Each structure stands twice: as C-alpha cells, then as structure tokens.
C-alpha cells in the first residue's frame, strides 16, 4: 500500500489533473474509484463533512486534501518528502 490514497472517478476532471501531477512526479498512490464501488462515497462524505466532492487525497500523516490545486498538492508532497 502506498502513502497516498485517492478517492476519484473517471469522469472527474480534477481527479484526472491530480493523477497526472502525481504520475509526472513519480509518486505512487492507490485509487479508490467511487463509481466502481459506490459504497466508498460514504467514506468521501465522512471525510468531507457531508460533501461528495472528489478527489479526496489521503496522506500517510493522517491529513487529507479535497480538490487540491496543483501547487497545493505539490507543496504537500514536498512537506511529506515524497518529492
């Protein structure tokens, strides 16, 4: 299991953007597709205080980001020393 888990869906533009950045930076991550496993949307809502917004990116330090911008995600990866 990697240090990052992303809740996403194929149709989600923000999800594709975050995946592209992680791939470009060579950062490993696990993906949970909420379309393929709709029960996972409950976890997304739990994390987001009821909102179904994705992507939700969970980090090994116990924090998460929802719909992060590329600069914010890159900064978080730097802080975690993943890049």
Task: Give the CATH number of the domain where residue 30 resides.
Answer: 3.40.30.10
Q: What's the pTM value of the predicted model, to 2 decimals?
A: 0.93
Q: Which residue's structure tokens are 């953007």?
A: 17
Q: Residue 1's pLDDT band (boundaries 50, 70, 90)?
A: low
pLDDT tens for each residue of 20-66: 999 999 999 999 999 999 899 999 999 999 999 999 999 999 999 99
Residues 26 and 1: beta-carbon distance below 8 Å: no
Q: How far apart are CA 56 and CA 41, in angstroms?
A: 10
* For the chain, counts of helices (H) and of strands (E): 3, 4
Which contacts qualify for 40-49: CB closer than 8 Å, 24 or more apart? 40/7, 43/7, 44/7, 47/7
Task: Find the domain containing 29 and state its range.
Answer: 4-79
Give the chain's domain count.
1
């Amino acid at each position: 299991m990697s240090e990052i888990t992303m809740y996403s869906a194929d149709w989600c533009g923000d999800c594709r953007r975050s995946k592209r950045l992680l791939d470009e930076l060579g950062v490993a991550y696990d993906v949970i597709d909420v379309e393929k496993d709709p029960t996972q949307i409950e976890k997304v809502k739990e994390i987001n205080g009821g909102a179904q917004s994705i992507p939700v990116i969970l980090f090994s330090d116990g924090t998460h980001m929802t719909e992060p911008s590329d600069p914010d995600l890159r900064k978080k990866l730097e802080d975690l020393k993943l890049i």
